[in-house]
Amino acid sequence: MSLDAVRAALAPSGHAAAIVEFSQSSATVAEAAEAIGTEPARIAKTISVYDEAPDAPEHGRAILLVLAGDAKVSSGRFKRRFGFKPHMLAPDDVEPLTGHRIGGVCPFANPAGAQVWLDESLRRFDVVWPATGSANSAIGLSLTDLETLSHAQGWVSVAQEPSTATPNTQGAS
């Protein structure tokens, strides 16, 4: 099970115990925010797209973009950064290329070759809440911990410019 793989991946750092499981779904940004009791923007959603770089293997690999819950990927910004337009993974490719089922895709315990990139839209917050491999779990992490535990390649700016950006550095309640 995907949640078990995430627990195992986070155990050496001591973070596995911080995973929260909910009795309700947290598969969408709105559901996760409600389950956690925080604003939707603090949900660190993971968008999975095909890696279409020239060196990508023929069988495919994924790029996992972790954005603030209120952010959307800008196709133009993505193309300027990666050199190709983003194409979302087909449903049948999600689990093989990310290690997780739809609703639980997260930046942890991913297959070799999957690249995790963190979007600048997250930097408004001191704590964000990514999923942890199931459609009813999450973990609250500092950005430093998210970067370290996800083995992120780095930070990118691929989100659309927000119409109104209100800095907020308060943790979840």
Tens of pLDDT along 124-164? Answer: 999 999 999 999 999 999 999 999 999 999 999 999 976 64
pLDDT band at 65 (very low <50, low <70, confident <90, very high): very high
Lowest mean pLDDT among 54-58, 88-92, 112-116, 150-154: 54-58
pLDDT at 172 over 60: no
**Position 85: which residue type?**
K
Residue 173 vs residues 34, 61, 129: alpha-carbon distances, Å: 11, 36, 12
The residue ranges of every structural domain in the chain are 2-155
What gap in Å lies between CA 128 and CA 168, rounded to an integer? 11
Average pLDDT score over residue span 105-110: 97
Q: Quick one: fold of 2-155?
A: YbaK protein (3.90.960)
DSSP code at position 114: -
Whole-structure pTM value? 0.90
- What is the tens place of the pLDDT at every residue in 20-59? 999 999 999 999 999 999 999 999 999 999 998 877 776 6
Give the SS3 label for residue 32: helix
